[in-house]
Chain A
């Protein structure tokens, strides 16, 4: 039996294991060495995060491309490739000082020119979310190779929260300037300045990253290699974890129903930290245009009728935290002192009676359709749960199944009554929250806009003011106010702050040390 046969015999998937050494080569203290094996699924189409922002691309590309700043788990800015930064008192000028000696994987130095090019030329063209933020930059100045100055068109406080590696990856100007970005042959090589560079990508099998020797941070990265294995089947991923073939899982790698069982494995630590920057927020979307959902009391009744505690246990296996309002408690400017909708069938019924929505002879007050988001079984179970629990107060829900395209089409064109929605918050209400509620974002055909059609001039004004205010205390005050109004109005029924299980080999250090967690560069991750 040769080594390959042995690997086949031992492994989950012979393809995923062919010819690559497993496990650690050397490890002692926080010293160099070791191979981190983990999972990527589904397989990303490309590794250049400036060109594609799907989760697998961002997870993998985070090791290859770095950005100006990193963020702590409470979303405070920390040095990225910028060692220090300054904001002018009027909130219009941002000055960043870069670390000296940063090089790209092709050996060329990274300078302020690359930063200016990435953020004002390439990203606004290729990255929709970056465009919305960086298009507010009036001009970028580069007085010397290590200094970059951004002059804003108007004050926009969240700018300092939008410089993470998923929003603002720095690409080499000498490769991309003047070329067709998407067709650039260098895309296959994915040249960034991150701690790991691409060695080999075997389609359908694995992506092999190795240490970037010219990395600017002393002693970092600690790991020799990171290998992302492509394992499309959920059962095989769980098995790979059980057998110790991988040392890390992220996002949906492990299904919720397997979490409790796998959490008992002695070699792994299970954490839901490291998703603070995204803070995925989950809610029941109600089309405010459809009667009787245009009535605030009806929406409040639904908020009372949903037994979220039991839903978190039964549908999500106890993973998520119950949301109290539009802003996630994991992000900045969260206001906890808002109206609470406790689970109460009586209160819900009372509100419905008050509206004059009396139950008919069959006990039903109204029949509404719920479009099940087509993202897997958990959403199906959630739909079933919502139907049963709302049925108790006489709101009859008819479930509707659809495919991914159909869901996006119906939902974005307002051709729905109720559906489930899950939206990232991106660290600042101006980046991830206001879009769902401001009336200027009622845009037909666009997902994750104000699809419910909620409109309140006061809310518009508060969100607007808060986005341009530069003082954090002032912003907190405005956001607290808007959260109280929204929770009273319940434009959508917030359900959960979604949690994802990250299984980490107990020997690994510093995996979820920042607010972007597994998307981080892993330069400080080490075995032991």
Chain B
């Protein structure tokens, strides 16, 4: 409860949270706000913002940009959250095993992690999506695969720090199963930095998905912000609104998530939190 109270007093974190909640509400209510399929050609092509029935204008096929942004919010958030969960599962598992067991196991795990870290993440994501095909499940998988290494290293560091503590050693001496020790004793104490990093990973996942869609590697059946900007790129001299509004949506969402992440960091970290 005190964490929550502390967060509520965190000014930038709260701004981020409000913006983020707005995006979430927009995503949830999209089917009611814009009941038509966002791909439907509802108006004349290239209508500027504030035209009849089209607040943010229409694109080259006469599709509603506002509807695209609302429905795109769903895709961006879903991809952001699920791919982050994927990378959390991979990263925390590998990090926990490496940190808990140490020695040879740690060596092997960390070499694997380094292998992934040395390959530029976005390039690997492009390669994966281009190879296994641009479908939403594959995109989530690809983003998950490229974003787990930092989480693994962080988890490992936390586990190594806590591994030698008395309460952990006590649990081991009592003959508790290693799984119990890891899940019930160490993980709860290592969770705050993982949550913070994870929240920031959501932002980077949204960016990766947008970049993939921009390059034409998005799922062609799903309206996403990156796709909208990619499609608008060629007609930017005729229709600035087609790229500016989805661009703003990405900017605001990513910024909000970063602010929330920072807020969480400040409130979950007892040293900073207590100073307030």
Contacts and interface: CB of A to CB of B under 8 A. Distances in A.
User: Is chain B found bound to chain A in the same assembly?
Assistant: yes
Interface of A: 234, 255, 257, 261, 310, 313-315, 372, 377, 380-381, 383-385, 387-388, 391, 398-401, 403
Contacts of A261: 237-238
Contacts of B133: 401
Given A314-B45, A381-B61, A399 B220 contact: yes
Contact of B62 (A314, A383, A387): A314
Contacts, number: 50
B13 interface: no
A372 B218 CA distance: 13
19 contacts: A257-B60, A257-B234, A257-B238, A261-B237, A310-B41, A314-B41, A314-B61, A380-B220, A383-B220, A384-B39, A384-B61, A385-B41, A387-B39, A388-B37, A388-B39, A391-B37, A400-B220, A401-B216, A403-B130
Interface residues of B, number: 20
Query: Ordered nearest first, which 10 A-B pairs have the shortest CB separation?
Result: A399-B220, A314-B61, A401-B134, A257-B235, A314-B45, A401-B220, A388-B39, A399-B221, A257-B234, A388-B40
A241 to B, nearest CB: 14
Interface in B52-105: 60-62
B234 A377 contact: yes
Given A234-B234, A255-B234, A314-B60, 15 more contacts: A257-B238, A261-B238, A313-B45, A314-B41, A314-B45, A315-B60, A377-B216, A383-B220, A384-B61, A384-B220, A385-B41, A387-B39, A388-B41, A398-B221, A400-B220
A167 to B, nearest CB: 34
B217 interface: yes
A315 B234 contact: no
Contacts of B249: none
For the residues of A in contact with B, the DSSP-based class is: helix
A403 B217 CA distance: 10
A315 to B, nearest CB: 7
Interface of B: 37, 39-41, 45, 60-62, 130, 133-134, 216-217, 220-221, 231, 234-235, 237-238
Contacts of B234: 234, 255, 257, 377
Contacts of A383: 220
A153 B221 CA distance: 53
Contacts of B130: 403
Contacts of A388: 37, 39-41
B48 to A, nearest CB: 16
Contacts of A385: 41, 61
Contacts of A313: 45
A285 to B, nearest CB: 18
A383 B220 CA distance: 9
Nearest to A385: B61
Contacts of A381: 60-61, 231
A261 to B, nearest CB: 7
A387 B221 CA distance: 9
Contacts of B61: 314-315, 381, 384-385
A385 B134 CA distance: 19
